[in-house]
Amino acid sequence: MIDNQINQGLSCMICGFKNVEGARFCANCGKELKTSINNCNQCGFENVAGAKFCAECGNELPLDDSQLGHSSICLVCSTKNPENSKFCVACAESLPLKNDASETTCPYCNFTNVKSSVYCAECGKILFKNSPHSKYKRRRPVYNQDEGESAKCTDFSNKPGLQEELNNTLFEIEEKAQPIFKELDSTINKIFNKKENKYGYLLCESCAGYYELKAGESADDFVECQCGGKLFFSTIRK
């Protein structure tokens, strides 16, 4: 049955592929099928198929699909190749496949196409199984269920050792950072003209005076400032 459909179908004007009867799109290149017309590349006049010269301007016409054969035009660079060629003489790309009477069903519309079809003749969508272009389609990585779950998130409830290791790492980072923070605090104090003393200072709230404690002295040894103001202890002199 499909042999009769092919014999009565249209040849693609782009790649020359012989399509089944009633096809709206070429099964090989996916282009929309039109009645065979040989357009003049000089004046654009639509000549009948098979014409060698333009009926309008007399320009020599390019060969049409009936003269070239189904595998003559490269779909990548449009170079005309000898009939039955497997590879383009210009760019070495694979040429359209030969017609095949076996059937391939479109997964989108269930239309019956010839086995060598790259695009569905009914809906124009690509048939990935037979398409030479399918290698360019980006595929999602395949995981088994366990790998897929572990790739999405980390479940600490199933890995208590990992949580403990994380806590220890954070503690080590904090411990190593303490000297840096201390040095930074000292630098800031120097910037603001604050002098440090390991014994501390007694500062007066009234006169803003200060007394630098010495070894063996304590803030409790002093009651008030000479001006009568209240004293308070501080590790830095403001």
- The pLDDT value recorded for residue 139 is 43
CB 29 within 8 A of CB 119: yes
Residue for token pair 């304590």: 218
41 pLDDT above the threshold of 70: yes
Q: How far apart are the first and last CA of the chain?
A: 102
CA distances from 124 to 78, 93, 116 (A): 20, 22, 14
Residue 183 in domain: no
Looking at the 3D structure of the chain, how many domains does it have?
2
Residues 90 and 205 in one domain: no
153 pLDDT above the threshold of 80: no
Residue for token pair 């404690």: 213
- The pLDDT value recorded for residue 170 is 83
> What's the rounded Cα separation, in Å, for the pair 33 and 46?
16
CB 99 within 8 A of CB 116: yes
> What's the rounded Cα separation, in Å, for the pair 86 and 175?
70
Radius of gyration of the chain (CA): 43
- The pLDDT value recorded for residue 177 is 85
- The pLDDT value recorded for residue 156 is 55
Residues 87 and 203 in one domain: no
Q: Which of 136, 159, 183 is the last residue of a domain?
A: 136
Structure tokens at 231: 């004293």
Where in the sequence is the domain holding 229, given as residue range(s)?
192-238
Amino acid at 14: I
pLDDT, averaged across the chain:
71
Higher pLDDT, 84 or 19: 19
Q: Is the pTM of this model over 0.75?
A: no
